[in-house]
Structure 1
Amino acid sequence: MSTQAPTPEFARAFCDTMLNGFDNEVQTTKKVLACIPDDKRDYRPDPNARTAWELAWHIANTDIQFLDGIADLQFKMENPAAADKPKTSAELVDWYGRNYKRASDRVRALSPEQLLTPIEFFGVFNLPAAFYLGFLNNHSIHHRGQLATYLRPMGAKCPSIYGGSFDEPFQHAASTTAA
C-alpha cells in the first residue's frame, strides 16, 4: 500500500477525468428525469420509499450541492440554487442542466492545489476536494438506478442507460465495411 500523497498534477487529471465522465452521466440522468410522468410523480413503490419526485429532486439537487461544495471548498446543508425548485419534469431537466453547467464550470476552474484542499463532509469524511467527485458519481448513479425502477410501474418508458432497454433498444451503428 502506497503512502504517497496525491500530487497537484494527479488532482487536476483526476478532476478532469471524473467531470468528463460525469458530463455523460448527466445526459443519461436527464433522460431518466424526463421520463417521469408529471401526473404520477407521487408514486412510491413502498410506504418507506421516497416518491418519484422526491427521488428525482434528491438526485438533481444533491449533484449540484456536491459540485458547489467542492467549488466552495466547504459543504453546506442549504442549497441556494434550490430556491427556484422546478414543478414539472421538463422544468427539472432544464434546472438540472443549467445548474450542472454552472457548478461543474466552477469546479473546473479550481487550481490543482485547491483540488487537494481537505474538506470535511459533515463529520463523516475529510477528503481532498477532488476525491468527492467519485462520491458524487456513485451517489448519483445509485439513486438514478432507483428512479429507473420506478418508471415502468408508473406507466412510463425506461430509457437506455448503459445499454438498451425494452423501451429503447440498443442501436448498432451501421456497418461501414467496404465490399
Structure 2
Amino acid sequence: MSIKEGFLIELERETANTRRIVERLEDKHLSWKPHVKSMSAGELAGHVVELHNWVAGGLGLVEFDFHQHYVPFKPTTVAEILAKLDDGYEKNVAMINALSDEDWSSLWKLKAGEHVIAEMPKIGAMRFIIQNHLVHHRGQLSVYLRMLDIPVPGIYGPSADDNNV
C-alpha cells in the first residue's frame, strides 16, 4: 500500500467521524462555551474543519505561513460547518492523490512570518500538525456535546450513548 492510499483511508474515516460529531450540534449551541478561556462550540467545530482542510490548503505548499495563508473560519451555522467539511473533503482527496511517495518526504515548514514554528517532512506534517491536532480538538468537541447533554456518537467504537449506558 502506498502512503497516499493509507492517508486516503484515514481521511475518509476521520472526515466521517467529524461529520458525526458536528451533525449533533444545532445552531443554538454554537455560541456556548464551557469556560471563559474556552473556544465556543462553533469556533471549535470550525477549527476542527479548518484543520481537515489544511491537507489541501497546506500540504501543496513548501511553507505554510500563518501571516500569508491563514484566514480563520468563523462559521455561523452548523450547515456552513458541514458544507465546508464536505467541500474540503474533495479538495483533500485531490491533494493526497497529487502527492507522490517522494513528495511525502519533502521538507515542509509551518511559520508565523519569519518565525519557524515547525519543520518536518510532509508525512510528519500530515500526522502531527494536521491529523493529531484535529483529533485532539474533535475530542474536546465531544466533551462539549456531553456537557450540553447531547448524545455523543461513537468514534473509534461505541460510546456510552450508543450503548444506552
TM bin (shorter chain): 0.7 to 0.9
- Structure-1 residue corresponding to 2:53: 64
SS of the residue aligned with 2:60?
helix
- Structure-1 residue corresponding to 2:79: 90
Once the two structures are TM-superposed, the CA of residue 63 in structure 1 deviates from its matched residue by 2.0
How far apart, in 1, do the equivalents of 2:30 and 2:78 lie? 9
- Structure-2 residue corresponding to 1:157: 151
Q: Of 7, 26, 29, which aligns to 1:37? A: 26
Q: Deviations over 1:101-145 (max 9, x none)?
A: 212311221223322220111212211112211112111111000
- Structure-2 residue corresponding to 1:109: 98
- Structure-1 residue corresponding to 2:62: 73
| Corresponding position: 1:141 with 2:130 | no
How far apart, in 1, do the equivalents of 2:117 and 2:5 lie? 25
Once the two structures are TM-superposed, the CA of residue 79 in structure 1 deviates from its matched residue by 4.3
* Structure 1: gaps (5+ residues): 1-11, 171-179
TM-score by structure 1 length? 0.77
How far apart, in 2, do the equivalents of 1:74 and 1:16 lie? 24
| Corresponding position: 1:25 with 2:18 | no
- Structure-1 residue corresponding to 2:36: 47
* Structure 2: gaps (5+ residues): none
CA RMSD of superposed structures (Å): 2.3
SS of the residue aligned with 1:31?
helix
Whether the aligned pair in 1 keeps the contact of 2:75 and 2:81 (CA below 8 Å) is yes
Taking only the aligned residue pairs, the percentage that are identical comes to 26
TM-score by structure 2 length? 0.83
Q: Normalized per residue, which structure has more strand?
A: 2
Q: Give the structure with higher Rg (CA).
A: 1
After superposition, the Cα gap between the structure-2 partners of 1:14 and 1:109, relative to the gap in structure 1 and judged at 3 Å, is same
Aligned residues: 157
Moved over 4 A (4+): 79-82
- Structure-2 residue corresponding to 1:127: 120
